[in-house]
């Protein structure tokens, strides 16, 4: 049975090439990408190149989700301080 690998940033420049190499080497690949700097078109290209159906999970990594939450809290705090200073 072939190994299944999780490939992050999967539709980006480096990982999309890695994805082709891994499929050609016989691995099963689950791609994870939030498409913030790439396109779903890459998945179609991967299918055309490899003759296989790529599995893409469109998700944001947990670390990025944490950073997003932190920056929202910081922005909210800054707005609140700004409102108070105007009173």
Ligand X SMILES: NC(=O)c1ccc[n+]([C@@H]2O[C@H](COP(=O)([O-])OP(=O)(O)OC[C@H]3O[C@@H](n4cnc5c(N)ncnc54)[C@H](O)[C@@H]3O)[C@@H](O)[C@H]2O)c1
Report 15-34 residues binding ligand X (CB under 6 A).
15, 32-34
Phi, psi (deg, nearest 5) at residue 9: 60, 35
Least Å distance, CB 52 to ligand X, is: 19
Least Å distance, CB 19 to ligand X, is: 11
CA distance 32 to 11: 8
SS3 71: helix
Binding mask 66-85 for ligand X (x = CB under 6 A): --------------------
Does position 41 interact with ligand X (CB under 6 A)? The reply is no
**Strand residues in the chain grouped as ranges (E):** 4-8, 28-32, 55-57
Nearer to ligand X by Cβ, of 21 and 85: the residue is 21
């Amino acid at each position: 049975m072939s190994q299944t690998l999780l490939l992050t940033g999967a539709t980006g420049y480096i990982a999309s090439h890695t994805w082709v190499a891994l499929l050609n080497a016989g691995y099963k690949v689950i791609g994870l990408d939030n498409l913030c700097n790439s396109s779903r078109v890459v998945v179609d290209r991967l299918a055309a190149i490899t003759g296989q159906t790529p599995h893409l999970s469109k998700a944001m990594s947990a670390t990025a989700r944490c950073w997003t939450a932190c920056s929202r809290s910081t922005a909210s705090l800054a707005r609140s301080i700004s409102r108070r200073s105007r009173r």
